[in-house]
Structure 1
Amino acid sequence: MGKVSYKRHLAKTITWRLVGTLDTIILSWLITGNPFTGLKIGIAEMVTKMVLYYLHERAWLSVDVTNSQKRHLIKTVTWRGIGTLDTILLSWVITGNPLTGLKIGFAEVITKMILYYLHERAWYRINYGLDIRKRAKKWKRTS
């Protein structure tokens, strides 16, 4: 895959967290009926998920799956498992109700998998932080 900069993973972490947090806030609000509960869960997740997502991105550097669609699908599933568990636990702690935590966690499984897959596909097209793609693109323009 070539050299991947830490800046790329930080940028992916931030963009995904913005999308993911908005999704969690909306789902939590709809399920609990309370916008402030949605905000509390979303803000708590912002911290935990940024750390977990960054670690997930770094771990995937050592995974040898070259087919981009297969790679993105597997990354989607592994991340969703980690993310859903985090959401369930945080929602349970914040609401005090394990059933509410499960409802919020399971509701976001589908929305987040779709959003994450689209996020991965978008970032696959972005050269930011990929030295090898930048050099290849530059070489094509000069030849």
Structure 2
Amino acid sequence: MKDQSRKRHIAKTITWRIVGTIDTIILSWIISGDPMIGLKIGSAEVVTKMLLYYFHERAWFKINLSKEGEVLESRKRHIAKTFTWRLIGTVDTMLIAWIISGDPLTGLKIGFAEVITKMLLYYFHERFWYKLNYGLSKRNKEDI
């Protein structure tokens, strides 16, 4: 069971990073006006975001948010995960964008722009994975 959940979390990490990196590259390019800055920011984020996302997934796997003993309904849980991940991801993006562009304002602009796009993309990514049984030995609420 434990190995299966790790495989699932690694697969989710990789698929989310692909979606997230493409979004970051496009937003960074549009905001900075320089496609190379977009590529540099997106490339730098790949490693930091994969590590942060993996640990975020592991933490949420261990958290059993419940209301009077019942596991929190999946949509509410996914919304809560979306907000916690977005906070972590946005701070990471702002710092990387600031370092690469040399301009803190560019970092802030990119970070704020991606709050909206990434939250929507992340929510749909979570819903997609919720419907998949990959990495789950059996489907029960503790696995989600």
Would you say same fold, with TM above 0.5?
Answer: yes
Q: What is the match of residue 94 of structure 1? A: 100
Question: Which of structures 1 and 2 has the bigger CA Rg?
Answer: 1
Q: Partners of 1:5 and 1:85 in 2: how far apart?
A: 27
Identity %, equivalent residues: 68
Q: Partners of 1:10 and 1:43 in 2: how far apart?
A: 19
Aligned residue for 1:131, secondary structure, equals coil
Gaps in structure 2 of 5+ consecutive residues: 66-70
2:133 to 103, 127, 135: 127
Question: Any residues of structure 2 matched to 1:26-45 within 5 Å, and which?
Answer: 26-45=26-45
Q: What is the match of residue 85 of structure 2? A: 79
Q: Partners of 1:61 and 1:100 in 2: how far apart?
A: 34
Q: 1:123 is matched by which residue type in structure 2?
A: W
Question: Any residues of structure 2 matched to 1:100-111 within 5 Å, and which?
Answer: 100-111=106-117
Q: What is the match of residue 52 of structure 2? A: 52
Question: Any residues of structure 2 matched to 1:11-30 within 5 Å, and which?
Answer: 11-30=11-30
Q: 1:108 is matched by which residue type in structure 2?
A: E
Gaps in structure 1 of 5+ consecutive residues: 135-143
Q: Partners of 1:129 and 1:11 in 2: how far apart?
A: 9
CA apart distance, 1:64: 1.3
Aligned residue for 1:64, secondary structure, equals coil
Once the two structures are superposed, residues 61-105 of structure 1 have per-residue CA deviations (whole angstroms, 9 ceiling, x without a partner) of 121133100100000000000000000000000000000000000
Q: 1:64 is matched by which residue type in structure 2?
A: N
Answer with 58-67 or 25-34: which moved more. Answer: 58-67
Q: What is the match of residue 139 of structure 1? A: none
CA apart distance, 1:5: 1.9
Answer with 55-64 or 16-25: which moved more. Answer: 55-64
Q: Partners of 1:72 and 1:133 in 2: how far apart?
A: 17
Q: 2:115 is matched by which residue type in structure 1?
A: V
Once the two structures are superposed, residues 19-47 of structure 1 have per-residue CA deviations (whole angstroms, 9 ceiling, x without a partner) of 00000000000000100100000000011
Stretches (4+) displaced over 3 A: none
What RMSD over aligned residues (CA atoms) do the two structures have, in Å?
Answer: 1.3
